[in-house]
Structures are given as C-alpha cells and as structure tokens.
Amino acid sequence: MTVLAVSAVLLPGSGGDSGESDVWVGRRSFLTSLIVLAVFVPVQAAAEEYVFRGWLTQAVGAFFRSPWFAVIPQAVLFAAAHGWGTKWGFIGLLVFGLVCGWLTIRTGGLEAAVALHALNNLLAFGAAAAFVDGLSSDETAADSPWQLALVDVATTLIYAALVLWLARRHHPQRLSPPVSGPA
C-alpha cells in the first residue's frame, strides 16, 4: 500500500511535493489497475491471513489456554512484517492484527479477517492506482502518518463491531463435525 497516494487522497497537501505523484493517471489506466487489483489483492490478503491468523495463531494457541496468548504474537509479527516505518503506522498495523485475530477466534474462521484485509488493501491500492507512480512506491501501511493510522484504526474497529454484532445475531455455523477424540 502506498501511503503517499492514500494520504494525497485523504489529506490534501500531505503528499509531499506537488510533483508528478499527484497527477491523475487517466480513466483507462485507473480502471485497468482496479481490475488487476480486484483479482490479485484478495488472494494476497487471504495468504497473509492464512499465515498470521490461521497457521501462527493455531501454532501458538496450541500451547496456551487463553486465546490472547495466540493473538498478541501474531499481531506483533504481522505489524513487523510490514516494516518499521512510523510509530503510528506500526500501532495501526498492530491494532489491525489484534482485531483480525480476535475476529478469527470469535467467529471461528478466517472469513471476516480475510474480508477486512482485502477491503482495506483494495481501498489503499485503489487510491494509489489513481496517481502516476502511485503503485510503484515502496511505502507500506507502516509508513502511515498519525492521521491515516487513526482513520485505519477507526474503520477497523467499526468493521469489527459490525461483524461481532452480526455473529451474535446469526450464530456462525460449523460446517464440519467436531472432532470426537484422538484417532
């Protein structure tokens, strides 16, 4: 995710110099980029969720009774995997990892976390795709200024509240039978 392009959309004047990075790419290039992003970003987001909220949470959680001992390490590693940019960017990623881990435990699956991650990345990359060289930046969410990190944390928490409310109302169903004992 390119923080420069996203901040240029959300925070006018924060994109640094008003050079070529703030120039609209044009409708055709933008739509082509959106199509490519719509195909690949959900796969990328799902892969990260399978590693951090799926495999790592289960691997650590196997040794502890409390789910928080499984959620905290994966969230820290998730934030670290995105880089050590600004303090606010790291905190935003840490909160994102904690929320996705909690959603995974509360809903019993990765679906809510994958959807949140895919939507978050689609919005960020989509905003970056609107500007010349927006997708070629090496900046990540870890490089976010405090304003952008705050918006990300707020939207993440709103999404989590909505998913948890829906989960309480429409109890998620297990599609596979519970394991009856050791084989």
Question: How far apart are the C-alpha atoms of 119 and 96, rounded to whole Å?
Answer: 13
**Would you state the pLDDT for residue 21?**
56
**Residue 82, Cβ neighbours under 10 Å: how many?**
20
User: Residue 18: pLDDT above 60?
Assistant: no
Judge whether 101 and 70 are in contact, CB under 8 Å: yes
Residue ranges per structural domain of the chain: 25-169
Lowest mean pLDDT among 12-16, 72-76, 104-108, 134-138: 12-16
Average pLDDT, integer, range 75-94: 89
Share of the chain above pLDDT 70, in %: 79
User: Residue 14: pLDDT above 80?
Assistant: no
Average pLDDT, integer, range 53-74: 88
Of residues 89 and 144, more confidence is placed in: 89
